[in-house]
Copies of this chain bind each other. A is one copy, B any other.
Amino acid sequence: MKLASLKSGRDGHLVVVSNDLAWYADASHLVPTMQAALDDWDRMAPYLEVLARDLEHAAIPRERFHEHDAAAPLPRAYQWADGSAYVNHVELVRKARGAELPESFWTDPLMYQGGSDDMLGARDPISLKDEAWGCDLEAEIVVVTGDVPQGVTPEEARGYIRLVGLVNDVSLRNLIPDELAKGFGFVQSKPASAFSPVFVTPDALGDYWKDGKLHRKLLVDLNGQPFGRAVASDDCTFDFGVLIAHLAKTRRVRAGSIIGSGTVSNRDSDGGPGRPVRDGGLGYSCIAEVRMVEKITTGEMKTPFLKHGDTVRIDVHDHREHTIFGAIEQTVQVG
């Protein structure tokens, strides 16, 4: 089943979307919002599944689905906690500034609590006041949980994953060093994130969803050029079960919590840092990473951070090259 929130008020209104993302059927007569569906998932999901099946069979009134009409599936959420499952990414960033990766990073996930009061739709602009802040994309996989009890195991935690989607976790790189030095995590350096037009239930992903990981390539384009083609299930040290269990160690996690994978990142086939897509590599899911590789290989960071008018596109295809979640496609607007 695929679900979306069409733009309407603060929370959008819930629709069921066809597998090919061409059509939708209003679901708000069953349950008004995505959060309300998650709050009462066991009771509501079967009704929504029936609606989704009827939509697939064109057995009910349906409307054309336009990705630009979609708000973030949860236009505001009660929790956004972003992990760093791709330790390759963390290692690269550290290597570029000459810092060792602590051994514990391979067993104890990094995670930060993000702001969740204002989530962007897939076509909303990245509104940036100052280019000097060093605006970057971060292409990631996310899951949305049901009510997770405190102290769940990673295996149990996987069973609480209700939906899967994509995020562009916008980051202001030049504000990060000062905030990290303060030790209290990110506040100013993580403005609003944007989410894929639809979120998808794990069962609807079939073989693409296994062991708490998404087994597909994450397609990242920058200004219309292929920028990243990393496989989300490769070099993924912590599956979503581990990330959720990490968050739930000392407290329960409530329905509608969004958990992020961190920037998707693959090593090169020779084990070294990734090469650009144009050089036959798998590329990058954020600009910081290519800058790190540039620094390591040439001594100089060349690729600039995002500027006014730049476009970012994040998508995942099925084996027929059809979009699964719809694409995040954002333009940077400065001022």
A293 CB to closest chain B CB (Å) equals 22
C-alpha spacing A172/B150, complex, angstroms = 15
B110 touches A113 (CB 8 A): no
C-alpha spacing A113/B76, complex, angstroms = 15
Is A233 in contact with chain B by the CB < 8 A criterion? no
Using CB atoms, name the residue of chain B closest to A183: B180
C-alpha spacing A172/B81, complex, angstroms = 19
Residues facing B in A109-161 (CB within 8 A) are 110-118, 127, 129, 133, 150-151
Which secondary structure characterizes the binding site on chain A? loop
> Which of A187-195, A280-288, A302-310 forms part of the interface with chain B?
A187-195
Q: How many residues of A contact B (CB 8 A)?
A: 47
Is A79 in contact with chain B by the CB < 8 A criterion? yes
C-alpha spacing A249/B175, complex, angstroms = 11
C-alpha spacing A183/B251, complex, angstroms = 21
A65 CB to closest chain B CB (Å) equals 26
Say how many copies of this protein the assembly contains: 2
C-alpha spacing A133/B249, complex, angstroms = 11
Is A257 in contact with chain B by the CB < 8 A criterion? yes
A232 CB to closest chain B CB (Å) equals 21
Using CB atoms, name the residue of chain B closest to A80: B113
C-alpha spacing A334/B187, complex, angstroms = 32
C-alpha spacing A63/B81, complex, angstroms = 40
Set of chain B residues within 8 Å of A118, measured between Cβ atoms:
251-254
What is the 8 Å Cβ interface bit string for chain A, positions 63-87, against chain B (1 contact, 0 not)? 0000000000000111101001000
B113 touches A115 (CB 8 A): yes
Set of chain B residues within 8 Å of A32, measured between Cβ atoms:
none
What is the 8 Å Cβ interface bit string for chain A, positions 96-114, against chain B (1 contact, 0 not)? 0000000000001011111
C-alpha spacing A246/B115, complex, angstroms = 14
C-alpha spacing A209/B112, complex, angstroms = 33
B112 touches A184 (CB 8 A): yes
Is A185 in contact with chain B by the CB < 8 A criterion? yes
Using a CB–CB distance below 8 Å, which chain A residues touch chain B?
10, 39, 76-79, 81, 84, 108, 110-118, 127, 129, 133, 150-151, 172, 175, 178, 180, 182-189, 191-192, 246-247, 249-254, 256-257
Name 13 interchain pairs, CB-CB below 8 A, sorted by A: A76-B254, A78-B78, A78-B116, A79-B115, A81-B115, A108-B182, A110-B184, A112-B187, A113-B113, A184-B186, A185-B186, A187-B247, A188-B249
